[in-house]
Chains A and B, each alone.
Chain A
């Protein structure tokens, strides 16, 4: 059996691990257009921050490929899938036969058209190479402008804030982290970031660039030495789409992670997931989700049977020692606690927890997440107690016996 995996990040690695659990002898090849040993992609901001280094960024140990008998082809792009002949055509013209193929191509930065952008060199912030390039430019006197106050823009901000002069952030949204926070949660995070010198221009955008200067719609003018564009990402769907596979916003798969093309699977940020907290198919570009999908794909590719049926958005993001943990969808009734710099908000509907926001209240947050991922009805727990404190005491004795007195 020949397995080909396009992508050397979380989903690809998870698939390879799952394949090896079931098939010790099949030929596994991992392709990547990057030159690096698999690394934790979200670690790039921690790298700039100095919280990790090149050696510790390895997502798997140095002997991972050798130990699992995986062939690697790095610094090479897959150009085309021929789903009829079952082969991948590489950038150098070489062809790679497969019996089972995984497309784990991730996403790429989206750079919106902005007048005068071409007058400036700019950075994106997705890969280790991006971080290395940006790092070379950092120095204490430089002014940085970041376009985008989302997860990527703000993690970049944290990574560089204390290593440069001033950092300004522009976003069209009225508050920071609009994809995961409400207004009050965003207010707390913004305050924290402003303590480190960041200046925010929200509900605003760049009307035009001059060299080293951004003119905003509001009329503000922001001079900069370094420009980072973190305005969003787009999934890399082209390989599957061009081969005739079904694609929506992301690559579409069944719950076994197989695409509409036979023996072609897909996982990770390039795909859509069925989000059970809002009953919609959407892109969940999150590392844990990529792992769950990749592992599921690998099992099925190797002849096992796995279904991924509980995708839930979840984010753990921190800034300068504070922690924001969120999951699920934000609709329904709410429960709120605001104390000092901490904030808890739970969203629920009848018998279901829909989602939550926790700012600097990380303790045991996973117990809330378990309600979402486990589709646990609120009628089975003491929700009044859970609202105040996530604890197993709010669950039935039978649930606890199952979880604490048995092998899990």
Chain B
């Protein structure tokens, strides 16, 4: 199963993935319209500290503690991916409390949680952060 992996040493800390994520999930086709002058709520986050930079998004854990802790049955593991059903989510944020990666977060506009679904839930259809990472610091591939 392909997943997103991080090559920390190649990350420049440019934060482009955050914008590409927000763009992909805006469901718009014009990047300027989607992002300019707007607060963005990407599902990927770049951490910076001195010379170290890396991106973090959902790891789609096999025994995902968010899925196990969800009070609503809104999170499930399907076809190798942790899926959120935002219609079932009530926004209690138990998942935020338990995710060891800090990779699931409140979606401010809708009062429920949001997370990376590998861009299967938007128009791009494949991870837009990976596609637009200029240095291959985020990759989408099979690993053990």
Interface residues in chain A, defined as those with a beta carbon under 8 Å from any beta carbon in chain B: 14, 40-43, 46, 51-52, 56-61, 287-288, 291-292, 295, 314-318, 321, 323, 325, 327, 362-367, 369-370, 373-374, 385, 390-393, 397, 400-401, 403-408
Out of B8, B52, B62, B105, which one reaches A405, CB within 8 Å?
A: B8
Chain A minimum-CB-distance residue to B85: A56
Out of B52, B71, B102, B144, which one reaches A366, CB within 8 Å?
A: B102
| CB atoms of B47 and A51 under 8 A apart | no
Measured between beta carbons, the chain B residues less than 8 angstroms from A406 are 5, 143-144
Interface residues in chain B, defined as those with a beta carbon under 8 Å from any beta carbon in chain A: 3, 5-8, 47-49, 52, 54, 56, 59, 61-62, 65, 68-69, 71-73, 87-88, 90-102, 104-106, 111, 143-144
| CB atoms of A52 and B143 under 8 A apart | no
Instruction: Known A-B contacts: A400-B8, A407-B3. Give 15 more (CB < 8 A).
Output: A287-B71, A291-B69, A323-B106, A362-B97, A362-B105, A366-B99, A366-B104, A367-B102, A369-B97, A370-B100, A401-B8, A404-B6, A405-B6, A405-B143, A406-B5
Distance in angstroms between the alpha carbons of A364 and B95 in the assembled complex: 10
Measured between beta carbons, the chain A residues less than 8 angstroms from B73 are 40, 58-61
Question: What is the CB-to-nearest-CB distance from B72 to chain A, in angstroms, rounded to a whole number?
Answer: 5
| CB atoms of B92 and A316 under 8 A apart | yes
Measured between beta carbons, the chain A residues less than 8 angstroms from B100 are 366-367, 369-370, 373-374, 403
Out of B7, B54, B61, B106, which one reaches A392, CB within 8 Å?
A: B54
| CB atoms of A291 and B59 under 8 A apart | no
Question: What is the CB-to-nearest-CB distance from B111 to chain A, in angstroms, rounded to a whole number?
Answer: 7
Measured between beta carbons, the chain A residues less than 8 angstroms from B47 are 391-393
With A58-B73, A59-B72, A403-B59 given, is the CB distance from A365 to B97 under 8 Å?
A: yes
Chain B minimum-CB-distance residue to A42: B71
| CB atoms of B94 and A404 under 8 A apart | no
| CB atoms of B56 and A316 under 8 A apart | no
Measured between beta carbons, the chain A residues less than 8 angstroms from B94 are 287-288, 314, 316
Measured between beta carbons, the chain A residues less than 8 angstroms from B56 are 392, 404
| CB atoms of A390 and B106 under 8 A apart | no
Interface pairs (26), CB distance under 8 Å = A41-B71, A56-B88, A59-B72, A60-B73, A288-B65, A288-B69, A288-B94, A288-B98, A316-B92, A316-B96, A325-B93, A325-B96, A363-B102, A366-B96, A366-B101, A385-B49, A390-B102, A392-B47, A392-B102, A397-B52, A401-B8, A403-B101, A404-B6, A406-B143, A407-B62, A408-B61
Measured between beta carbons, the chain B residues less than 8 angstroms from A316 are 92-94, 96-97
Distance in angstroms between the alpha carbons of A334 and B56 in the assembled complex: 29
Chain A minimum-CB-distance residue to B100: A370
Measured between beta carbons, the chain A residues less than 8 angstroms from B68 are 14, 288, 291-292, 295
Counting chain A CB atoms within 10 Å of each CB, the highest count among B48, B61, B92, B104 belongs to B92
| CB atoms of A51 and B71 under 8 A apart | no
Chain B minimum-CB-distance residue to A14: B68
The 4 closest A-B CB pairs, nearest first, are: A364-B102, A370-B100, A288-B69, A366-B99
Chain B minimum-CB-distance residue to A312: B98
| CB atoms of B90 and A393 under 8 A apart | no
| CB atoms of B105 and A51 under 8 A apart | no
| CB atoms of A362 and B93 under 8 A apart | yes
Question: What is the CB-to-nearest-CB distance from B70 to chain A, in angstroms, rounded to a whole number?
Answer: 8
Measured between beta carbons, the chain A residues less than 8 angstroms from B97 are 314-316, 325, 327, 362, 365-366, 369
Measured between beta carbons, the chain B residues less than 8 angstroms from A43 are 71-72, 90
| CB atoms of B98 and A366 under 8 A apart | yes
Distance in angstroms between the alpha carbons of A317 and B59 in the assembled complex: 25
With A288-B69, A392-B102, A404-B8 given, is the CB distance from A42 to B3 under 8 Å?
A: no
Measured between beta carbons, the chain B residues less than 8 angstroms from A295 are 68
Chain A minimum-CB-distance residue to B53: A393
Out of A56, A365, A400, which one reaches B87, CB within 8 Å?
A: A56
Counting chain B CB atoms within 10 Å of each CB, the highest count among A56, A393, A404, A406 belongs to A404
Measured between beta carbons, the chain B residues less than 8 angstroms from A407 are 3, 62, 143-144
Measured between beta carbons, the chain A residues less than 8 angstroms from B93 are 316, 318, 323, 325, 362, 365
Out of A40, A374, A404, which one reaches B54, CB within 8 Å?
A: A404
Distance in angstroms between the alpha carbons of A14 and B73 in the assembled complex: 11
Distance in angstroms between the alpha carbons of A397 and B50 in the assembled complex: 13
Chain A minimum-CB-distance residue to B56: A392
Measured between beta carbons, the chain B residues less than 8 angstroms from A325 are 93, 96-97
| CB atoms of B5 and A405 under 8 A apart | yes
